[in-house]
Amino acid sequence: MNWIELDKKHVWHPYNSMPSKSDLLQVKRTDKTSIFLENDDELIDGMSSWWSCIHGYNHPKLTQALKNQLDIMPHIMFGGIAHEKASLLCEKLAKISGLNSVFLCDSGSVSVEVALKTTIQYQEAKAKKKYKFIALKHAYHGDTLAAMSVCDPDNSMHSIYGSYLPSHIFTKAPELGFDSDCTNSIKELEETFKKHENEVAGFILEPIVQGAGGMRIYNPIFLKKARELCTKYDILLIADEIATGFGHTGKMFACEWADIKPDIMTVGKGLTGGYMTMAAMITSKNVSDTISNSKLGILMHGPTFMGNPLACSVALESLNLLDDNTWKKNVLKIEQIFTKELQSAKELTLVNSIRNIGAIGVIELNDESYAQEIQDYCVKNGVWIRPFGKLIYSIVAYTIKEEDLIKIIKTMIEAIKSIKTK
């Protein structure tokens, strides 16, 4: 039986039916920023594998890091055991984040779960019975249970779970636009904090860019105000940097746009350069000390594959690559190209708005019914993107060639032009 037939028979793909309702691309190999199909067609990757392959595919230094570690120790349990690569990685994460204590885990969603649990334990350690969280409308924080509970309750992909999820408090998302007037959202945020201060343990948000909830870029002033309010009310600020971290917005972490430090940060995606599944929760020393010195004394979580040496090794090498500030120049150039090339989309009838920051470029349509048609057009013309809803977007590797990025953008725009509205 052909392997794609086995896929149709046995494989349940993400956000899809079983078997898949749409044809799946049959991928044979990858190289740099290209995907090669079984029929030898080449696609320029406009998604950097769900925003994780920040250095492109098959990077020689990342590949070598894995090979070196494989011969030494592919895996070891992390309970009661330490190993060098994990220690070096955590030191590196602490240094670049400005925080102190690193908890390694399996995926972005799990890192959010751990962050929420840690926040509750922090409040418990201070003898405060506070179990609620404030989150933003349009938020997306992952697909596991607790992570779903702090995603937008009405407009997210998780709304079908309704009352099954824990109930939290949602406030107005900051107004759209990096230079927008966010007076109204800040006012509502202040009122929300004041009203719920005695029941709220933490405030979780995606700094500067709300990702899967709408690719919404917002003013750093909102983030700065969030930090002030969390400090005032002793509510932990959780910055979900899974999508924004490691350079996607032009800064190492998006929190740097507001010159603030959260109490807890979650990171993932680009952590290993897209090679291995790995994420981390990073906290201030105050948070880890408060929990560690309490009656309970321990953080109640422990994934089986936590601190996997292969993942630690490649993550460390990925972060070493970012020590060279070449990535900053590359992301700035990417941002400039997005800014210039997206302009022509503004005049299209189907287009509601365009926006971009760093390695992120977005076209928002007026209608959400054209996503599959646009994706099919792009694939036929040598570009891989995966639109969702009204959003036609690209988040690219920092190593992408200028001509390839221009082709991605022009192909997205041509795909929109090709749509024949009814």
Q: Which of 106, 240, 263, 404 is catalytic?
A: 240
Q: What CA–CA distance (Å, rounded) separates 271 from 92?
A: 11
Q: Which two tokens stand for residue 210?
A: 């709300």
- Closest to 378 in 3D by CA, of 346, 414, 325: 414
Q: Which two tokens stand for residue 362?
A: 């977005």
Q: Which of 137, 251, 269, 390 is catalytic?
A: 269
Asked if 169 contacts 132 with a C-beta cutoff of 8 angstroms, the reply is yes
Could you tell me the CA-to-CA distances from 170 to 1, 109, 185, 385 in Å, in that order? 50, 19, 12, 31
Q: What is the DSSP letter of 153?
A: T
Q: What CA–CA distance (Å, rounded) separates 116 from 299?
A: 12
Output the CA torsion sign for 252, 88, 286, 234. positive
Question: Is 240 part of the annotated catalytic residue set?
Answer: yes
- Closest to 247 in 3D by CA, of 355, 115, 357: 357
H, E, C per residue of 324-377: CCHHHHHHHHHHHHHHHHHHHHCCCCCEEEEEEECCEEEEEECCCCCHHHHHHH
Q: What CA–CA distance (Å, rounded) separates 396 from 280?
A: 22
Torsion angle defined by CA atoms of residues 397, 400, 402 and 404, in that order, rounded to the nearest 10 degrees: -100
Q: What is the DSSP letter of 250?
A: S
Question: Is 269 part of the annotated catalytic residue set?
Answer: yes
Q: Which of 106, 122, 137, 140 is catalytic?
A: 140
Catalytic residues: 15, 140, 240, 269
